[in-house]
Amino acid sequence: MDDIVKALITVLGKHKVLLGTAVKERYHHIWHTDTPLHAKAVVLPRTTEEVAAILKICHQYNQQVLVHGGLTNLVGGTETNGEELIISMEKMNSIEEVDAKSRTMTVQAGVLLENIQQAAKEQDLLFPLNFGAKGSAQIGGAISTNAGGLRVFRFGMTRNLVLGIEAVLADGTIISSLKKIIKDNSGYDLKQLFIGSEGTLGIVTKAVLKLSEAPKSRNSAFVAFNDYDKVVDFLKFMDSGLAGTLSGFELMWKSTYQALTSPPASVKPPMPYDYKYYVLLESLGSDQEQDREKLQGLLEQALKEQLILDAILAHTTSDLEWFWTIREDVHVLVANCTHDQHFDISLPIPMIGKLTNQFVTAIEQLPKVEIAYAFGHVADGNLHLIVGKEVLEESLTKKINDIVYPPLQAIGGSVSAEHGIGLHKKPYLHICRTPAELQLMKTLKQAMDPKGILNTGRIF
């Protein structure tokens, strides 16, 4: 038994250190549960102090560490090479406090996003971060990648929803600033170093989350178009007409919408397959009936002004669930692919239509490509592509990457809107970051993790 494993068992106890078969019974991603995990060991801390003790040992032994959360990462952030020590945050799953008066929630990093949403709802509050993997994604992972999701347009990215952070540095030092205040202009905002840094600067163990008052109404509609420019015009029209209550604006290309509403999908299409583009919008307000009437009136006006071709309004709670199941169940798209390759990019909103069509056409012309599904949070300039491929070939992956990523540089886009860089996007980071920016990032990494043990190889 390695000296480091002996040291970990001495500090944590045998039941919190998994070895051998117990490691291989685990996996690195929820879509690859049949692939055994390869790692030196898996440790299961329950407190920040235990994470600190683990990192002190790893720092002493120069042991590479990889953090596992909900295992929903899409850029290789949780993949292993067999030499890492895995720190799984699954046992740090306590909601420590919901403070309704300050509208905050203090949580450990392993709490599931869906549980946070439910705990807020029970206090008539809202934690607006929301995406399809909410039932398995942990908040620590969402913080470390600065996750986005379906309501960024109104509420912002994860970093906009975090007031305080507790994190552990590579040498075991605990940085604790679990403040509930919104304004704190006292020097550097250190929590921002950990949000979006993908666990390369420190391990987030706790957070104070910002909550909002729960909306009294939720209304949605599907809307159809044949012209992308009309999609952009309609976004401006609805954002103005709904006076700040527009919270979601999701765009699906026809092939994506059709796949999400055909077997093996569990839902039927609310609109026929007659159009090129489908938008699913959401409004969160204060009066269900009045807000529905307002939305209906705006849709009718948009039809008269020929901004849209067709629309269908959700009239019941079951309609809402039906509509949003279509958008959230992207695993249906993955199931349609023999092998899947994912893209998550940012680009100026007016350019999304033209460039996406160029991407899809070029990708689908490549040999051994099955299909390219396009969809995204168009209101915040975030496009997703899922490419189905017949084979897993590195050369094919590179050809597809070379279609999508290089054009982003000239238009000020980003190779990652919300998923991070991980292992898979490292070769393309220079497209959206200058040499000076990259050097400053590396300087921060060297200063905070001089031995390079935290999530080694991610980003750089």
* β-pair partners for 162: 209
Angstrom distance (rounded) from CA 109 to CA 205 = 5
Angstrom distance (rounded) from CA 237 to CA 234 = 5
pTM of the model: 0.94
Burial (CB count within 10 angstroms: exposed 0-12, middle 13-18, buried 19+), residue 457: middle
Print pLDDT tens along the chain (460 aa). Answer: 689 999 999 999 999 999 999 999 999 999 889 999 999 999 999 999 999 999 999 999 999 999 999 999 999 999 999 999 999 999 999 999 999 999 999 999 999 999 999 999 999 999 999 988 899 999 999 999 999 989 999 999 999 999 999 999 999 999 999 999 999 999 999 999 999 999 999 999 999 999 999 999 999 999 999 999 999 999 999 999 999 999 999 999 999 999 999 998 999 999 999 999 999 999 999 999 999 999 999 999 999 999 999 999 999 999 999 999 999 999 899 999 999 999 999 999 999 999 999 999 999 999 999 999 999 999 999 999 999 999 999 999 999 999 999 999 999 999 999 999 999 999 999 999 999 999 999 999 999 999 999 999 999 8
Look-up: residue for tokens 């000020």? 412
Angstrom distance (rounded) from CA 250 to CA 325 = 12
pLDDT of 299: 98
pLDDT of 304: 97
Determine the 3-state secondary structure of 404 from DSSP.
helix
* β-pair partners for 344: 384, 416
* β-pair partners for 104: 99, 210
pLDDT of 1: 65
